[in-house]
Structure 1
Amino acid sequence: MRTAYQYRLRPTKQQAVKLDRWLEMLCAQYNYLLADRFNWWEQNRSPVNACPLVCHLPELRDNPDYYSQKKTLPQLKKTHPWYSDIYSQVLQDVVKRVKVTFDRFLKGDSSGKRSGKPRFKARNRYRTFTYPQMKEGCLQGNLINLPMFGKVKVILHRPIPEGFKIKTASVTKKADGYYLTLSLEDKTVPEIKPNFNPDKITGIDVGLKEFLITSEGETVAIPQHYRKAQKRLRVIQKRVSRRKKGSNRRQKAVKQLGKQHKKVADKRKDFHFKTANWLLSKYDVVAHEDLNTKGLARTRLAKSVLDAGWSSFLSILANKAENAGLLVVPVSAHNTSQDCSNCGEKVPKKLHIRWHDCPNCGCSLDRDHNAAINIKNRAVGQSVLKAQRLLSNSRIGCEAHTILASS
C-alpha cells in the first residue's frame, strides 16, 4: 500500500535560490523535450500513402521516445555544464513526465480518455521536481538529505509510522513556501473487517443545501469557503489588475492573491478530512452516489459545486476507508431523489421541490434524506458483490467469505 505525507520545508536563503534555479532549468528541459516530440509528430503523423496539404520532406530520424530522450541527458550536461548540478534521476523524471503527458494526449489514459494538447510551461507554472528513489535513513531528525542538494530543514508535524519505507520525495513550490511530499510504502495489507454490523451501514447524499445528509437523518452544514472569501479575493484581485505588468509591486500582489487562494483550498481540504474521519468513526460501510462532477461543473451551479469539492471529498473518503479496512461503495445516482425509499414507487419532482411526499404509501420526509435512504438500500446488495470480488485475493479471502456469510 502507498500513502503520502506532506511536510513544510524551511530552506535557507541560499537553498531557496538553488531550488528556484533547479526549477527554472527543469522547466527549460521539459519544454525542449516536449518541443522535440511535437516537431517529429507534426512532420511524421501522415501515413505513407497520404500527403498533407502543406507537403515537405521530414527529417529522417526515429520517433523520440522515453529511452532515446533519456540518452540525450549525458550530452546535455556536456553542452550545458550547469545541468550537472542537478541529480541525474531528477532529470530522468522530467523525461518520464513528458512521456506520460504526450502519451495521454495521443493514446489516452487507462480508461481511454484523451487529454488536451500539452502546453509549454512558463517558469512560474513549473513547481515540482521528484526524486524517484530515496536511500534508507535519508530523514535524520528534522533534516531531509536530498541527493546533490544537501540537508534541508523539515517541519515534522507528524512522525512517520514504524514499518513505513520512504520510496520517493517531491519538492513543491507553493504560494506560501516550499513543501516536501514523501511517498511511503507499507507492505502490510489492511484487513477488511470480518463482519459488518447492519446498524453501521449508511448512505450519504451530498448536496448544496447541506454538504451531506446520512440515511439516519444526520446533516453536515456546507461551509462555502470560497463564497465567504470572495470579498477579500475581490479586493486583492483588483489590486493586481491595477498594477503595471512586470513590476515588483504587481508580483507582490500576485503572491498575496495566491496565498489567499491557498488558504481557501486548505480550509476546504481540512473540512473534507474531518468529515471523512467523522463518518468512518461511526460507520463500517459508507455508500454514496457515483456522481459525474465534471459534468456538474459545467452547469450554472458550477461555482457552488466546485466550492463544495465533492470529488475531492469522495476521493479522501475512499482512501481513508481503505487504510482503516472499511468499505466505501459507489452506487448509481439514477432516480435516487425520485424513487420513494419506503415503497419504491417513482414520485417525479422538480429540483426546487425539497420535500418528498409519496401519494402511494404516505411517506413524507426531506428530499435529500429520502435519497440517502435509497443510496443505502442500493449499497446493501452491492456490498455483497464487492465481497465476492475480494475472494479473488488470497490474502483476504477468508475475510470476504465471512462478509458473504453475514450478508
Structure 2
Amino acid sequence: MTARRLAAFLALPVCLIASPALAAPGGLLAHQTTLELNEASSAWILTSTALVLLMTLPGLALFYGGMVRKKNVIAAIAHSTAALAIVTVLWFAVGYSLSFGVGPEPVNGFIGGLQAAFLDGVMPTTAHSLSPGLPEFLWVAYQLTFAIITPALIAGAFAERIKFSASILFFFLWHLLVYVPICHQVWGGGWLGSWGVLDFAGGAVVHVNAGVAGLVAALVLGPRHGFGRDNMAPHNLAFTAIGTGLLFVGWLGFNAGSAWAADSIAAVAALNTILAAAAAAIGWTAVEWIDHKRPTLLGLLSGIVAGLVGITPAAGLVDPKGAFFIGILSGPACYAGAVWLKRALKYDDSLDAFGVHGVGGIVGALLTGVFASAAINPVGEGADIVKQALGLLAVIVWSGVGTFVILMICKFTVGLRVTKEEEIEGLDYTQHGETIHQ
C-alpha cells in the first residue's frame, strides 16, 4: 500500500463523518464567517504565534532541561520536541475542528464537530466567528501553539522516570481526550465559556489543566529512585535561566496575543504580564529567604514563571493594580505548592508542574473573579468568583479523571516506567542512546 493510499484509508472514517456538515448553507461552516481582514491585528497575531511557539522549543525545553540531572537532559528536551510534533499533526487532523468547530446538540457543550477535520473548508477567505479580522489559517496556527505547550508542561511532573514510548502515547491520547474537550468547553463555544467562566489566555485551559494532569501523573508513577535521599538538584541553572527568559518573552505573545487584535487590551495585557511576573518573583523570593535563610536563582526564576502563570487568566481583564496583587500573591502560593505541599505529602512532582502551573493557575483564575474590571475590558463586567471556582472544579475533575484513565491505558499497553537500572543510568542513554557532554 502506497503512502498516499494509506493516508486516504486512515482519513476515510473522519471524512465520512464530517462530510454531511461540509455542505452548510452559504458555503461556510457553522463556526466560520467571511474574512474582514485587519492587517495590523494579523501582523500582531503572526508575531504572537512565533512567540508562543518559542515558549515550547527552545523555551520550555531549556527550562526543564536545566532542572533535571545531567543524565536526563536530552530526555527532558525530547519531551517538548515530541509534544510539538504529535500535537501539530493531531491539531491539523481533528484537534482544531473538535476544539473550535460546532458539534451537534447537546454534544456541542462538551466537544466540537468534525466539519473542519484535516482543515477541510478552511480557506484564505474564511475567518473564525470569534476573530473575523484574522485569516482562519492564522487562527488555526495561533491556537495550535497553546495546544502544543500544554502537554509539554505536564512532562515536568514525570521527568526522569517515564518511558519515552509511554510519553508519546500519553501526549497523543491526552490531547484528544483532555485538552481538546476543555479547550472547546472554555474557549470554543462550550458550556463553561457560555456560562460566564473567564479565562483570558489559558489559566484553566492550559495551566490548571496541565498542573492537575501533572499531579495525577506524579502520584501514579510514584517517586524517582532515591527521592528524598539522593541529590536531585538542577544540573545547569544557566539553561533554566535562558529558558525562563525565552518563556517570559514568549508569554507576551501568549497573553497580549490573546486579545486577538493590536489594541488597548493587548497593551494592558502586555504590561500586566511583565508586572505580575516581577511581583511574583519578589513574593516567592521573600518567602524562600525566610524559609531557607537565603535567596536562590532558581527561586527567582520560579517566581517569575509563577507570576506569568497567575496573570494568564486575567491579563486582559484587570488593571495594573490587580495584576500586581495577582503576582504578589501567586509567588508565595506557588512556593507553598512547590515546596511545602510536596514536602508534606511526599509526592514527587519532579519539576513542580502542579506546584507552579496548577497552583498558580488556580490562584489567578480565582482572583480574576475579584479583580476583573469592566473599565479595562467590557467582558470583566460579568466576573464572578463563584463561577470561576465552579469552572475550575469542572476542569480539575475532567483533567484528573481523564489523565488517570490515559495513564492506565499506557501502563497496560507500553508500560509507564523505565526499570530501576535504566533510571539509575539515566534516560538520555537508555531511552535515546545519546548523552550530553559539557
TM-score (norm 2): 0.23
Where relative contact order (Cα < 8 A, 6+ residues apart) is larger, the structure is 2
**Whose helix proportion is higher, 1 or 2?**
2
TM-score (norm 1): 0.24
The structure whose Rg is larger is 1
**Whose strand proportion is higher, 1 or 2?**
1
